[in-house]
Amino acid sequence: MNSTDEEVPFTRIHEFPHFHPERDHPKDRTVIVREYSRFAGPGDEPYYPVNTAQGRAVVARYRKLARNERGVFFGGRLGAYAYLNMRMAIASALALVRNRLQPYFGKR
């Protein structure tokens, strides 16, 4: 399960038996892992948007500026300002190409 809300201290929680439901797992215990994020520092590449009031204000300003840009497309987690798992990110990129870029180049 993923969370980008500021109130939740971790960004992701895994309960490993759910990865392999076909296997028999002990019923009286489990393994849980929580992933904690941190703000990107100098030289870091930010991976996830952090859903804060300040972040929402910044993305609103970017979206307003982006309306005046032609031929510029924002994608991925940071471009969408949303958590996207890898499948969603790839599907989003393919849809962007199909719907926004392919019309410029015609069908092949």
The answer to whether the predicted template modeling score (pTM) of the entire model surpasses 0.75 is no
Q: Which residue has the tokens 């895994």?
A: 14
Query: How far apart, in Å, are the Cα atoms of 59 and each of 30, 43, 80, 81?
Result: 39, 21, 9, 7
Confidence at 107, pLDDT banded by 50, 70, 90: low
pLDDT tens digits for range 37-68: 777 889 988 777 778 898 899 989 999 999 99
